[in-house]
Structure 1
Protein backbone atom coordinates (compact mmCIF):
# COMPACT_ATOMS: atom_id res chain seq x y z
CA UNK A 1 0.00 0.00 0.00
CA UNK A 2 1.31 3.41 -0.97
CA UNK A 3 1.43 6.17 1.60
CA UNK A 4 2.08 9.93 1.48
CA UNK A 5 3.65 12.20 4.08
CA UNK A 6 2.30 15.76 3.93
CA UNK A 7 4.27 18.42 5.78
CA UNK A 8 2.73 21.76 6.74
CA UNK A 9 4.23 24.80 8.45
CA UNK A 10 4.06 25.67 12.16
CA UNK A 11 5.19 29.26 11.64
CA UNK A 12 2.42 31.74 12.36
CA UNK A 13 3.67 35.26 11.60
CA UNK A 14 5.91 37.37 9.42
CA UNK A 15 8.94 38.22 11.53
CA UNK A 16 8.85 41.98 11.30
CA UNK A 17 7.89 44.89 13.52
CA UNK A 18 4.16 44.47 12.88
CA UNK A 19 4.29 40.65 13.18
CA UNK A 20 1.60 40.16 10.52
CA UNK A 21 -0.01 36.70 10.72
CA UNK A 22 0.69 33.95 8.23
CA UNK A 23 0.73 30.14 8.27
CA UNK A 24 -0.52 27.36 5.99
CA UNK A 25 -2.20 28.29 2.70
CA UNK A 26 -5.15 25.95 3.05
CA UNK A 27 -5.86 25.13 -0.60
CA UNK A 28 -2.29 23.94 -1.09
CA UNK A 29 -3.11 21.21 1.39
CA UNK A 30 -6.71 20.49 0.43
CA UNK A 31 -6.23 20.28 -3.35
CA UNK A 32 -3.37 17.84 -2.94
CA UNK A 33 -5.33 15.86 -0.36
CA UNK A 34 -8.37 15.63 -2.64
CA UNK A 35 -6.36 14.10 -5.49
CA UNK A 36 -4.73 11.44 -3.36
CA UNK A 37 -7.87 10.64 -1.38
CA UNK A 38 -9.73 10.06 -4.67
CA UNK A 39 -6.95 7.64 -5.64
CA UNK A 40 -7.35 5.74 -2.38
CA UNK A 41 -3.88 6.68 -1.10
CA UNK A 42 -3.31 6.93 2.66
CA UNK A 43 -1.88 10.22 3.96
CA UNK A 44 -0.50 11.62 7.19
CA UNK A 45 -0.25 15.35 7.89
CA UNK A 46 2.69 16.38 10.07
CA UNK A 47 4.66 19.55 10.80
CA UNK A 48 8.23 20.41 11.82
CA UNK A 49 7.41 20.80 15.52
CA UNK A 50 4.02 19.09 15.73
CA UNK A 51 0.93 20.55 17.35
CA UNK A 52 -1.81 22.85 16.09
CA UNK A 53 -1.51 24.33 12.61
CA UNK A 54 -2.41 27.97 11.97
CA UNK A 55 -4.17 28.61 8.65
CA UNK A 56 -3.31 31.88 6.94
CA UNK A 57 -6.50 33.93 6.99
CA UNK A 58 -5.76 35.32 3.55
CA UNK A 59 -6.23 31.82 2.11
CA UNK A 60 -9.82 31.86 3.39
CA UNK A 61 -10.88 35.02 1.58
CA UNK A 62 -14.05 35.15 -0.50
CA UNK A 63 -12.19 35.60 -3.78
CA UNK A 64 -9.48 33.07 -2.89
CA UNK A 65 -11.12 30.04 -1.30
CA UNK A 66 -12.75 27.84 -3.95
CA UNK A 67 -15.64 25.41 -3.38
CA UNK A 68 -13.42 22.38 -2.85
CA UNK A 69 -11.35 24.12 -0.18
CA UNK A 70 -14.46 25.60 1.46
CA UNK A 71 -15.91 22.09 1.70
CA UNK A 72 -12.80 20.89 3.51
CA UNK A 73 -12.80 23.97 5.72
CA UNK A 74 -16.35 23.17 6.80
CA UNK A 75 -15.55 19.51 7.46
CA UNK A 76 -14.79 19.09 11.19
CA UNK A 77 -13.16 15.69 10.63
CA UNK A 78 -10.69 17.14 8.15
CA UNK A 79 -9.90 20.27 10.15
CA UNK A 80 -9.27 18.10 13.21
CA UNK A 81 -6.24 16.73 11.35
CA UNK A 82 -4.65 20.16 11.86
CA UNK A 83 -5.39 20.42 15.56
CA UNK A 84 -2.59 18.23 16.90
CA UNK A 85 -0.18 17.14 14.20
CA UNK A 86 2.74 14.85 14.86
CA UNK A 87 6.21 16.25 14.31
CA UNK A 88 8.55 15.12 11.56
CA UNK A 89 10.47 13.20 14.26
CA UNK A 90 7.38 11.26 15.32
CA UNK A 91 6.89 9.35 12.07
CA UNK A 92 8.92 6.73 10.24
CA UNK A 93 9.75 8.28 6.88
CA UNK A 94 10.73 4.86 5.49
CA UNK A 95 7.05 3.86 5.44
CA UNK A 96 6.13 6.58 2.93
CA UNK A 97 6.46 6.72 -0.86
CA UNK A 98 5.97 10.48 -1.30
CA UNK A 99 6.76 13.53 0.79
CA UNK A 100 4.82 16.67 -0.08
CA UNK A 101 5.55 20.14 1.27
CA UNK A 102 2.46 22.37 1.31
CA UNK A 103 3.02 26.10 1.19
CA UNK A 104 2.04 29.26 2.95
CA UNK A 105 4.54 31.99 3.81
CA UNK A 106 5.26 30.37 7.16
CA UNK A 107 7.28 27.74 5.32
CA UNK A 108 9.89 30.37 4.45
CA UNK A 109 10.99 30.12 8.07
CA UNK A 110 10.53 26.69 9.58
CA UNK A 111 10.93 24.66 6.37
CA UNK A 112 14.05 26.59 5.38
CA UNK A 113 15.72 26.53 8.80
CA UNK A 114 15.14 22.94 9.95
CA UNK A 115 18.29 20.83 9.52
CA UNK A 116 16.50 17.64 10.58
CA UNK A 117 13.91 18.20 7.88
CA UNK A 118 16.63 18.71 5.29
CA UNK A 119 18.52 15.57 6.30
CA UNK A 120 15.40 13.42 6.26
CA UNK A 121 14.41 14.82 2.86
CA UNK A 122 17.86 14.04 1.44
CA UNK A 123 17.69 10.45 2.73
CA UNK A 124 14.18 10.12 1.37
CA UNK A 125 15.13 11.31 -2.11
CA UNK A 126 18.31 9.24 -2.24
CA UNK A 127 16.22 6.26 -1.23
CA UNK A 128 14.42 6.50 -4.56
CA UNK A 129 11.27 8.15 -3.21
CA UNK A 130 9.25 11.06 -4.68
CA UNK A 131 9.64 14.61 -3.37
CA UNK A 132 6.92 17.17 -4.14
CA UNK A 133 6.33 20.77 -3.08
CA UNK A 134 4.19 23.73 -4.04
CA UNK A 135 4.55 27.49 -3.72
CA UNK A 136 6.46 28.43 -0.53
CA UNK A 137 6.64 24.76 0.38
CA UNK A 138 9.56 24.69 -2.05
CA UNK A 139 11.51 26.58 0.64
CA UNK A 140 12.06 23.17 2.26
CA UNK A 141 14.27 22.14 -0.65
CA UNK A 142 16.67 25.09 -0.80
CA UNK A 143 19.03 23.78 1.89
CA UNK A 144 18.76 20.02 1.25
CA UNK A 145 22.24 18.57 0.70
CA UNK A 146 22.71 15.09 -0.75
CA UNK A 147 25.36 12.66 0.47
CA UNK A 148 27.83 13.90 -2.15
CA UNK A 149 27.58 17.44 -0.78
CA UNK A 150 25.55 18.88 -3.66
CA UNK A 151 22.15 20.53 -3.31
CA UNK A 152 19.21 18.29 -4.16
CA UNK A 153 17.89 20.96 -6.52
CA UNK A 154 21.24 21.62 -8.24
CA UNK A 155 20.78 21.02 -11.96
CA UNK A 156 17.11 20.10 -11.54
CA UNK A 157 14.23 21.80 -13.31
CA UNK A 158 11.67 23.31 -10.97
CA UNK A 159 9.67 26.26 -9.74
CA UNK A 160 8.29 27.97 -6.63
CA UNK A 161 6.56 31.22 -5.73
CA UNK A 162 8.17 34.00 -7.73
CA UNK A 163 9.51 37.21 -6.26
CA UNK A 164 7.40 39.25 -8.67
CA UNK A 165 4.30 37.52 -7.34
CA UNK A 166 5.29 38.47 -3.77
CA UNK A 167 4.65 42.02 -4.91
CA UNK A 168 1.24 41.11 -6.31
CA UNK A 169 0.43 39.43 -3.01
CA UNK A 170 1.41 42.64 -1.21
CA UNK A 171 4.02 41.02 1.04
CA UNK A 172 7.33 41.71 -0.69
CA UNK A 173 8.38 43.96 2.21
CA UNK A 174 7.46 41.24 4.72
CA UNK A 175 9.16 38.16 3.31
CA UNK A 176 12.57 37.32 4.85
CA UNK A 177 14.32 36.72 1.52
CA UNK A 178 13.85 36.34 -2.22
CA UNK A 179 13.07 32.63 -2.48
CA UNK A 180 13.20 32.60 -6.27
CA UNK A 181 16.77 33.92 -6.21
CA UNK A 182 17.82 31.49 -3.47
CA UNK A 183 16.56 28.57 -5.52
CA UNK A 184 18.50 29.80 -8.53
CA UNK A 185 21.62 30.34 -6.41
CA UNK A 186 21.47 26.69 -5.38
CA UNK A 187 21.35 25.55 -8.97
CA UNK A 188 17.64 25.12 -9.67
CA UNK A 189 16.77 25.62 -13.33
CA UNK A 190 13.90 27.86 -12.31
CA UNK A 191 10.89 28.61 -14.52
CA UNK A 192 7.58 30.32 -13.96
CA UNK A 193 4.26 30.90 -15.70
CA UNK A 194 4.11 33.62 -18.33
CA UNK A 195 1.05 35.07 -16.60
CA UNK A 196 1.42 36.00 -12.91
CA UNK A 197 -0.25 33.51 -10.54
CA UNK A 198 -1.16 31.15 -13.41
CA UNK A 199 -0.79 27.40 -12.94
CA UNK A 200 2.74 26.10 -13.46
CA UNK A 201 4.07 22.71 -12.43
CA UNK A 202 7.46 21.23 -13.29
CA UNK A 203 8.34 17.54 -13.20
CA UNK A 204 11.98 16.47 -13.12
CA UNK A 205 11.62 12.73 -12.55
CA UNK A 206 11.16 12.25 -8.77
CA UNK A 207 11.11 15.99 -8.04
CA UNK A 208 7.78 17.74 -8.66
CA UNK A 209 7.27 21.42 -7.88
CA UNK A 210 4.38 23.85 -8.34
CA UNK A 211 4.66 27.62 -8.50
CA UNK A 212 1.63 28.86 -6.58
CA UNK A 213 -1.72 27.88 -5.00
CA UNK A 214 -3.29 27.53 -8.43
CA UNK A 215 -0.74 24.79 -9.17
CA UNK A 216 -1.60 22.50 -6.24
CA UNK A 217 -4.04 20.22 -8.07
CA UNK A 218 -1.84 19.64 -11.11
CA UNK A 219 1.18 19.21 -8.84
CA UNK A 220 -0.74 16.51 -6.97
CA UNK A 221 -1.76 14.79 -10.21
CA UNK A 222 1.81 14.78 -11.51
CA UNK A 223 3.06 13.54 -8.14
CA UNK A 224 0.58 10.68 -8.21
CA UNK A 225 1.71 9.76 -11.72
CA UNK A 226 5.36 9.76 -10.67
CA UNK A 227 4.62 7.71 -7.56
CA UNK A 228 2.94 5.07 -9.74
CA UNK A 229 5.85 5.15 -12.18
CA UNK A 230 8.38 4.57 -9.44
CA UNK A 231 6.26 1.79 -7.94
CA UNK A 232 6.07 0.03 -11.31
CA UNK A 233 9.84 0.23 -11.75
CA UNK A 234 9.60 1.88 -15.16
Structure 2
Protein backbone atom coordinates (compact mmCIF):
# COMPACT_ATOMS: atom_id res chain seq x y z
CA UNK A 1 0.00 0.00 0.00
CA UNK A 2 0.97 3.61 -0.52
CA UNK A 3 0.36 6.38 2.03
CA UNK A 4 0.64 10.14 1.58
CA UNK A 5 1.77 12.05 4.67
CA UNK A 6 0.88 15.75 4.60
CA UNK A 7 2.93 18.09 6.81
CA UNK A 8 3.21 21.76 7.61
CA UNK A 9 6.08 23.65 6.02
CA UNK A 10 5.85 26.52 8.50
CA UNK A 11 8.80 27.13 10.83
CA UNK A 12 7.01 29.84 12.83
CA UNK A 13 3.46 30.64 13.85
CA UNK A 14 2.14 34.21 13.76
CA UNK A 15 0.41 34.77 17.11
CA UNK A 16 -2.33 37.29 17.89
CA UNK A 17 0.09 39.63 19.68
CA UNK A 18 2.33 39.77 16.59
CA UNK A 19 5.02 37.36 17.77
CA UNK A 20 6.46 34.97 15.19
CA UNK A 21 6.66 32.00 17.51
CA UNK A 22 9.16 29.21 16.64
CA UNK A 23 7.13 26.20 15.57
CA UNK A 24 6.97 23.50 12.90
CA UNK A 25 5.87 19.87 12.88
CA UNK A 26 5.67 17.84 16.09
CA UNK A 27 8.29 15.07 15.97
CA UNK A 28 6.28 12.29 17.62
CA UNK A 29 3.32 12.92 15.35
CA UNK A 30 5.45 12.29 12.28
CA UNK A 31 8.03 9.76 13.44
CA UNK A 32 5.79 7.28 15.26
CA UNK A 33 3.18 6.91 12.47
CA UNK A 34 5.84 6.97 9.74
CA UNK A 35 7.76 4.14 11.37
CA UNK A 36 4.62 2.09 11.92
CA UNK A 37 3.56 2.59 8.30
CA UNK A 38 6.98 1.47 7.08
CA UNK A 39 7.09 -1.47 9.49
CA UNK A 40 3.75 -2.61 8.05
CA UNK A 41 5.39 -2.70 4.62
CA UNK A 42 3.79 0.39 3.15
CA UNK A 43 5.38 2.93 0.82
CA UNK A 44 5.26 6.47 2.26
CA UNK A 45 5.46 9.82 0.49
CA UNK A 46 5.72 13.16 2.29
CA UNK A 47 4.14 16.32 0.86
CA UNK A 48 4.15 19.96 1.93
CA UNK A 49 2.83 23.18 0.46
CA UNK A 50 5.39 24.37 -2.06
CA UNK A 51 7.49 21.25 -1.55
CA UNK A 52 9.38 23.04 1.22
CA UNK A 53 11.37 20.94 3.66
CA UNK A 54 9.44 20.85 6.96
CA UNK A 55 10.98 22.15 10.19
CA UNK A 56 10.75 20.16 13.40
CA UNK A 57 9.44 22.05 16.43
CA UNK A 58 12.49 22.06 18.69
CA UNK A 59 10.41 21.60 21.83
CA UNK A 60 9.22 18.26 20.42
CA UNK A 61 12.76 16.90 20.51
CA UNK A 62 13.66 18.44 23.88
CA UNK A 63 13.67 15.73 26.54
CA UNK A 64 13.11 18.30 29.29
CA UNK A 65 9.94 19.50 27.57
CA UNK A 66 8.40 16.15 26.62
CA UNK A 67 7.41 15.41 30.21
CA UNK A 68 4.79 18.16 29.92
CA UNK A 69 3.01 16.66 26.89
CA UNK A 70 2.34 13.13 28.09
CA UNK A 71 -0.17 11.88 30.67
CA UNK A 72 0.60 12.28 34.34
CA UNK A 73 2.12 9.07 35.67
CA UNK A 74 3.12 7.74 32.24
CA UNK A 75 6.53 6.13 31.80
CA UNK A 76 9.48 8.50 31.50
CA UNK A 77 11.31 7.63 28.28
CA UNK A 78 11.73 11.26 27.33
CA UNK A 79 15.48 11.31 26.74
CA UNK A 80 15.44 8.12 24.68
CA UNK A 81 12.37 9.23 22.74
CA UNK A 82 13.83 12.65 21.91
CA UNK A 83 17.04 11.04 20.66
CA UNK A 84 15.08 8.48 18.63
CA UNK A 85 12.93 11.17 17.01
CA UNK A 86 16.02 13.14 15.99
CA UNK A 87 17.68 10.06 14.50
CA UNK A 88 14.55 9.17 12.56
CA UNK A 89 14.16 12.69 11.20
CA UNK A 90 17.79 12.76 10.09
CA UNK A 91 17.40 9.37 8.39
CA UNK A 92 14.18 10.15 6.47
CA UNK A 93 15.09 11.48 3.00
CA UNK A 94 11.47 12.42 2.22
CA UNK A 95 11.74 15.22 4.78
CA UNK A 96 14.55 16.85 2.83
CA UNK A 97 12.79 16.72 -0.54
CA UNK A 98 9.03 16.44 -0.03
CA UNK A 99 6.52 16.44 -2.83
CA UNK A 100 4.87 19.78 -3.58
CA UNK A 101 1.15 19.43 -2.86
CA UNK A 102 0.51 21.70 -5.84
CA UNK A 103 1.97 19.08 -8.16
CA UNK A 104 -0.56 16.40 -7.20
CA UNK A 105 -3.45 15.78 -9.55
CA UNK A 106 -6.58 13.68 -9.22
CA UNK A 107 -4.88 10.61 -10.67
CA UNK A 108 -1.94 11.02 -8.27
CA UNK A 109 -4.34 11.03 -5.32
CA UNK A 110 -6.00 7.90 -6.69
CA UNK A 111 -2.65 6.10 -6.46
CA UNK A 112 -2.60 6.46 -2.65
CA UNK A 113 -4.45 4.05 -0.38
CA UNK A 114 -4.83 6.68 2.34
CA UNK A 115 -3.75 10.12 3.53
CA UNK A 116 -2.34 10.95 6.96
CA UNK A 117 -2.08 14.59 8.07
CA UNK A 118 0.65 15.12 10.66
CA UNK A 119 0.39 17.84 13.29
CA UNK A 120 2.29 20.54 15.13
CA UNK A 121 1.27 24.12 15.86
CA UNK A 122 2.92 25.18 12.60
CA UNK A 123 -0.01 23.55 10.78
CA UNK A 124 -2.25 26.43 11.88
CA UNK A 125 -0.17 28.76 9.73
CA UNK A 126 -0.43 27.05 6.35
CA UNK A 127 -2.66 23.98 6.11
CA UNK A 128 -6.07 25.73 6.40
CA UNK A 129 -5.01 28.40 3.88
CA UNK A 130 -4.01 26.13 1.01
CA UNK A 131 -6.46 25.80 -1.88
CA UNK A 132 -4.26 23.06 -3.32
CA UNK A 133 -4.42 20.98 -0.14
CA UNK A 134 -8.17 21.46 0.01
CA UNK A 135 -8.41 20.16 -3.56
CA UNK A 136 -6.27 17.10 -2.76
CA UNK A 137 -8.56 16.32 0.18
CA UNK A 138 -11.71 16.83 -1.91
CA UNK A 139 -10.38 14.31 -4.40
CA UNK A 140 -9.53 11.91 -1.58
CA UNK A 141 -13.03 12.20 -0.12
CA UNK A 142 -14.64 11.71 -3.55
CA UNK A 143 -12.48 8.61 -4.04
CA UNK A 144 -13.48 7.29 -0.59
CA UNK A 145 -9.89 7.24 0.67
CA UNK A 146 -9.29 6.68 4.39
CA UNK A 147 -8.06 9.89 6.06
CA UNK A 148 -6.27 10.25 9.38
CA UNK A 149 -5.19 13.35 11.25
CA UNK A 150 -3.70 14.05 14.65
CA UNK A 151 -3.57 17.05 17.00
CA UNK A 152 -3.32 20.22 14.84
CA UNK A 153 -3.35 18.34 11.53
CA UNK A 154 -7.11 18.84 11.64
CA UNK A 155 -6.58 22.44 10.55
CA UNK A 156 -6.34 21.00 7.02
CA UNK A 157 -10.03 20.10 7.25
CA UNK A 158 -11.36 23.50 8.29
CA UNK A 159 -11.62 25.14 4.86
CA UNK A 160 -13.22 22.15 3.10
CA UNK A 161 -16.70 22.59 1.64
CA UNK A 162 -18.83 20.43 -0.61
CA UNK A 163 -20.74 21.54 -3.71
CA UNK A 164 -23.51 22.97 -1.53
CA UNK A 165 -21.13 24.94 0.66
CA UNK A 166 -21.39 22.54 3.60
CA UNK A 167 -18.51 21.18 5.64
CA UNK A 168 -18.12 17.52 4.56
CA UNK A 169 -17.51 16.31 8.13
CA UNK A 170 -20.58 17.89 9.70
CA UNK A 171 -22.03 15.43 12.22
CA UNK A 172 -18.87 13.31 12.41
CA UNK A 173 -17.54 12.19 15.77
CA UNK A 174 -13.95 13.37 16.09
CA UNK A 175 -11.25 14.47 18.48
CA UNK A 176 -8.41 16.98 18.21
CA UNK A 177 -6.07 18.97 20.45
CA UNK A 178 -8.35 20.21 23.22
CA UNK A 179 -9.02 23.67 24.56
CA UNK A 180 -7.72 22.47 27.94
CA UNK A 181 -4.44 21.39 26.39
CA UNK A 182 -4.07 24.68 24.54
CA UNK A 183 -4.59 26.57 27.79
CA UNK A 184 -1.48 25.04 29.37
CA UNK A 185 0.81 25.88 26.45
CA UNK A 186 2.94 29.03 26.41
CA UNK A 187 0.76 30.35 23.58
CA UNK A 188 -2.50 30.29 25.54
CA UNK A 189 -4.72 33.20 24.60
CA UNK A 190 -2.55 34.14 21.64
CA UNK A 191 -3.39 31.45 19.08
CA UNK A 192 -5.27 32.32 15.87
CA UNK A 193 -7.71 29.46 16.51
CA UNK A 194 -8.65 26.71 18.96
CA UNK A 195 -9.45 23.45 17.18
CA UNK A 196 -11.99 22.21 19.71
CA UNK A 197 -13.95 25.44 19.20
CA UNK A 198 -13.61 25.49 15.40
CA UNK A 199 -14.57 21.86 14.87
CA UNK A 200 -17.59 22.18 17.14
CA UNK A 201 -18.65 25.37 15.34
CA UNK A 202 -18.52 23.55 12.00
CA UNK A 203 -20.73 20.74 13.32
CA UNK A 204 -18.34 18.07 14.55
CA UNK A 205 -19.39 15.92 17.51
CA UNK A 206 -16.20 16.67 19.40
CA UNK A 207 -14.93 14.38 22.15
CA UNK A 208 -11.72 14.09 24.17
CA UNK A 209 -9.92 12.06 26.82
CA UNK A 210 -10.99 12.55 30.42
CA UNK A 211 -7.57 13.96 31.33
CA UNK A 212 -5.40 16.26 29.22
CA UNK A 213 -2.54 14.56 27.32
CA UNK A 214 -4.17 11.11 27.51
CA UNK A 215 -4.37 9.18 24.25
CA UNK A 216 -7.72 9.37 22.49
CA UNK A 217 -8.62 8.18 18.99
CA UNK A 218 -11.97 8.34 17.20
CA UNK A 219 -13.07 6.60 14.01
CA UNK A 220 -16.14 7.77 12.11
CA UNK A 221 -16.67 6.35 8.64
CA UNK A 222 -13.44 6.94 6.67
CA UNK A 223 -11.99 9.54 9.08
CA UNK A 224 -9.64 8.62 11.94
CA UNK A 225 -8.67 11.40 14.37
CA UNK A 226 -6.22 11.59 17.27
CA UNK A 227 -6.25 14.13 20.08
CA UNK A 228 -2.62 14.92 20.90
CA UNK A 229 1.00 13.79 20.47
CA UNK A 230 0.51 10.89 22.89
CA UNK A 231 -2.27 9.61 20.61
CA UNK A 232 0.10 9.18 17.65
CA UNK A 233 0.78 5.46 18.13
CA UNK A 234 -2.86 4.48 18.65
CA UNK A 235 -3.92 6.69 15.76
CA UNK A 236 -1.43 5.08 13.36
CA UNK A 237 -2.37 1.57 14.46
CA UNK A 238 -6.05 2.35 13.99
CA UNK A 239 -5.42 3.92 10.60
CA UNK A 240 -3.52 0.82 9.47
CA UNK A 241 -6.56 -1.29 10.38
CA UNK A 242 -8.71 1.06 8.30
CA UNK A 243 -6.36 0.66 5.35
CA UNK A 244 -6.43 -3.14 5.68
CA UNK A 245 -10.22 -3.06 5.50
CA UNK A 246 -9.96 -1.28 2.14
Q: Residue 71 of structure 2 corresponds to which residue in structure 1?
A: none
Aligned mate of 2:170, from 135, 143, 154: 154
Asked if structure 2 preserves the Cα contact closer than 8 Å seen for 1:163 and 1:172, the reply is: no
Q: 1:197, 1:75 → 2: CA distance? A: 23
| Paired position in structure 2 for 1:61 | 62
Q: Which runs of 4+ in 1 moved over 2 A?
A: 65-72, 75-81, 146-150
Tell me whether 135-144 or 58-67 shows the greater mean CA deviation.
Answer: 58-67
* Secondary structure in 1 matching 2:152: helix
State how far apart, in whole Å, the 2-side matches of 1:48 and 1:204 are.
27
Change in Cα spacing, 1:108 to 1:121, as seen in structure 2 (3 Å) is: same
Is the alpha carbon distance of 1:80 and 1:151 closer, same or farther for their aligned partners in structure 2, counting shifts above 3 Å? Answer: same
Contiguous gaps of at least 5 residues in structure 2? 67-77
Q: TM-score, normalised by structure 1?
A: 0.92
Equivalent in the alignment of 1:8: 7
Structure showing the higher helix proportion among its residues = 2
Paired residue total: 229
Cα 1:121–1:66 change in 2 (3 A) is: farther
Q: 1:86 matched to which residue of 2?
A: 99
State which drifts further: 81-90 or 220-229: 81-90
Q: For 1:71, which of 84, 88, 92 is the aligned residue?
A: 84
Q: Distance in 1 between matches of 2:89 and 2:207?
A: 38
Q: SS of the counterpart of 1:103?
A: coil
* Equivalent pair of 2:14/2:125 in contact (CA under 8 Å): no
What pairs up with 1:170-189 in 2 under 5 angstroms? 170-189=186-205
| TM-score normalised according to structure 2 size | 0.87
Q: Write the distance in 1 (CA, Å) between the matches of 2:32 and 2:93.
A: 17
Shift of 1:164: 1.5
The equivalent of 1:222 in structure 2 is 238
Cα distance in 2, alignment partners of residues 131 and 70 from structure 1: 29
Aligned to 2:116: 100
**Unaligned 5+ runs, structure 1:** none
